[in-house]
Amino acid sequence: MALVRGILAPRQVVSTPNRVAAGIRPRSGSAVHSTPMDLHVIGPLASPAERAAVDEVLGAPDSGWRGGGRNPMTEGHVARGGHDARSRRDLLLPALHALQDRVGTITQPGLNYVCRRLSVPPAEAYGVATFYALFATRPRPPAVAHVCDDIACRLAGAEQTCTDLERTLGPAGESARDGRVGWLRSPCLGLCEQAPAAMFTIAGEHASRATAAPIDAAGVVARLEGSAGSAAAAAIPQLPPTNGSGADGGSMPSVRGYARASVPQMGEPQLQLLRRVGMVDPTSIDDYLAHRGYLALHQALAMGPEAVIQEVTDSRLLGRGGAAFPTGRKWAAVAGQPVQPHFVVCNADESEPGTFKDRVLMELDAFAVVESMTIEGFATGASKGYLYIRGEYPLAESRIRGAVEAARAAGYLGPSVAGSDFAFDIEVRRGAGAYICGEETALFESIEGKRGEPRNKPPFPVEVGLFGKPTAVNNVETLVNVLAILDDGPGGGARFAAVGTEGSTGPKLFCLSGNVGRPGLYEVPFGTTLGQLLELGGGVPEGRSIRAILLGGAAGVFVGPEVLETPLTFEGTRAIGATLGSGVVMVFDETADMVGTLRRIAAFFRDESCGQCVPCRVGTVRQEELLARLADRVEVRSRGDELELLAEIGQAMRDASICGLGQTASSAIESALRQPELVAL
């Protein structure tokens, strides 16, 4: 395996065995040492900039043992405060983010300083730093473009963008323009409705991140050059989040323009979950209040926690994060736990390729997410909530942080929520580029400052969750549904359950992308058929025909045009052997490169497997190799035997993987290969 020199190299010794095994490039931003890293807290000292960045997160060091000045009179030979330092282990990721943002790289001295401050063994901290794709542990240019080459962006020409960038800037992972800029390939950035997309990370004193879509190679280069030229130009929100609108800052015309690009139904009267999108200034709590904001919280406080849980139970709301678990049952289980404290966690990691619904809600109705988390805390007896948001959502993160601050200032968070005796607050944590951290227990590990490796279940999070305490974890869309249930007071659960079907109640968001006339986020009642949704989205353009539709994302299933009558419900999709997953509906017309799509999906799972358990770690690599052999016509056994082997690999992953990633890693690929009319391999 050749070792590529430059800002990236295709070997990730500590964290990603699959990338090593496969001899393929790491996730975007994964960084590797071509020389071994010293794992002791010795060696060069962190630079003043690095120390300042870390101190901003952790506070100034208070002893020589923790990286500050040593007072021989009081500190002698005995280190005190180690327990305190270790109890702050959950600040490891924020501290690593601070280093990454400030200098563009997590250097050995910088990492050592963090280790000293938090009393974390350096080898362990290194293991964490190398787990996450957005952290780099070897030198990297300050301005980096993360160019999405995932399935929706491929349909919109991302491969051409990458080819053009190779020509102008050199290979992905190399530094260019005197080391000032670089570019990397990235998995889905959650902007599929505006594909192709890119994210820019600019390190420095005024570090920033921003996304742009649609964008081509010339656009990427122009933005990189602009960012690298001036630190001030790089600060958020100088790079507009999408073409033609700089939505941050809350000017309503720009918010509306931005919203319309993502939500074609914007402003329609029947909308429940998207009713405020494009209508409300997402940066203003006053405007939120003027748009029925905080009605649901007032109703909840008046009803009491048991009645809130009863309404949610009556609504028969099922979780929208993919597992479809009854929300009322989850909340009741947490509320009933004698162990204290309880936590609530909002899962805003949204990394399933093709999914962007949570991003739109957070960017354009941020207070709704904050309000619904507060209600969840009230119902489950928690006084602290964490919102874990993927690192690729800079605008959503800044909107949510702004909303949390404004809610706190207005008394909707804090020791006395809305004047009641209920105390609740929210902390926002940023992910660092790892799909697996959307799995709820991997997410807990990540908040706790560890590698995002899923835990064995049971025990389930409702009993042993974040920091080992009872935890209610819910998806963003699930939570926003709770407002629709409670807004109009008692009886809301039954009213909600009257919408949709017996097994799938309420409204549902669908992320429509790919070869459709009007890609975007659509809200329809459960039971709307696949064909009706495609019609809403303008059908396939230019009279072309549908070859395949991916339901549920990379972890979902490909179906053909013959199932357009299928109602989009949990039970309806189950009946045709498919899944709703996180609400992805991606359309591939007759011209789509299906073989390339399948190979990209296989690469995604190989890349994102945490590597903790063998069936998934090895199976995802074998699956990708097998697809490559079929696509490249490399014959080591007959095609029939290859397909049999693929099915065996899939079965082993389903049967023996710890978590849903391994259990679903083969489903889309197998489903496509079962239908020769969808893909000829």
Ligand X SMILES: Cc1cc2nc3c(=O)[nH]c(=O)nc-3n(C[C@H](O)[C@H](O)[C@H](O)COP(=O)(O)O)c2cc1C
Instruction: Report the interface residues with ligand X, using CB under 6 A.
Output: 319-323, 325, 347, 349-352, 436, 438-440, 473-475, 478, 659-661
* Least spacing, CB of residue 464 vs ligand SF4, in Å: 17
* Cα dihedral across residues 412, 416, 422, 428: positive or negative: positive
Nearer to ligand X (CB atom), residue 50 or residue 477: 477
The CA distances from residue 428 to 398, 404, 477, 500, 610, in Å, are 10, 9, 17, 33, 24
Q: What is the DSSP letter of 406?
A: H
The site for ligand SF4, by CB under 6 A, has a size of 14
* Least spacing, CB of residue 188 vs ligand FES, in Å: 3
662 binding ligand SF4? (CB under 6 A): yes
Nearer to ligand X (CB atom), residue 351 or residue 573: 351
Nearer to ligand X (CB atom), residue 107 or residue 474: 474
Nearer to ligand FES (CB atom), residue 156 or residue 428: 156
List strand residue ranges (DSSP E) for 466-611, in order: 471-475, 507-514, 520-525, 546-551, 557-559, 584-589
- The pattern of x and - marking residues 353 through 372 that bind ligand FES according to CB under 6 A reads x-------------------
Count CA within 13 A, CB hemisphere, residue 422.
24
Count CA within 13 A, CB hemisphere, residue 538.
14
* Least spacing, CB of residue 239 vs ligand SF4, in Å: 33
* Least spacing, CB of residue 192 vs ligand FES, in Å: 3
627 binding ligand SF4? (CB under 6 A): no
Nearer to ligand SF4 (CB atom), residue 154 or residue 606: 606
* Least spacing, CB of residue 665 vs ligand SF4, in Å: 7
Residue 438: contacted member of ligand FES, ligand X, ligand SF4, none (CB under 5 to 8 Å, by partner type)? ligand X
618 binding ligand SF4? (CB under 6 A): no
- What's the token pair of residue 209? 């991140």
Name the one residue in this structure whose structure tokens are 């919109």: 156
Contacting ligand SF4 within 414-473 (CB under 6 A): 436, 454
189 binding ligand FES? (CB under 6 A): yes
Q: How far apart are CA 402 and CA 249, in angstroms?
A: 10
* Least spacing, CB of residue 9 vs ligand SF4, in Å: 23
Residue 671: contacted member of ligand SF4, ligand X, ligand FES, none (CB under 5 to 8 Å, by partner type)? none
Contacting ligand FES within 149-178 (CB under 6 A): 150-153
348 binding ligand FES? (CB under 6 A): no
Q: How far apart are CA 161 and CA 167, in angstroms?
A: 10
Name 127's Cβ contacts closer than 8 Å, sequence gap at least 6: 14, 15, 451
Beta-sheet pairing, 342-348 with 471-475: parallel
Interacting residue with ligand SF4 among 115, 613, 627, 646 (CB under 6 A): 613
Q: What is the DSSP letter of 45?
A: P
Nearer to ligand FES (CB atom), residue 152 or residue 413: 152
The CA distances from residue 618 to 51, 621, 657, in Å, are 40, 5, 11
Nearer to ligand SF4 (CB atom), residue 264 or residue 662: 662
* Least spacing, CB of residue 431 vs ligand FES, in Å: 16
Residue 610: contacted member of ligand FES, ligand X, ligand SF4, none (CB under 5 to 8 Å, by partner type)? ligand SF4
Strand order in the sheet with 208-212: 175-176, 181-186, 143-148, 198-202, 208-212
Name 630's Cβ contacts closer than 8 Å, sequence gap at least 6: 639, 642, 681
Looking at this protein, which amino acid is placed at residue 3? L
Strand order in the sheet with 382-389: 425-430, 382-389, 342-348, 471-475
Interface contacts to ligand FES, rule CB under 6 A = 148, 150-153, 188-192, 195, 197, 353
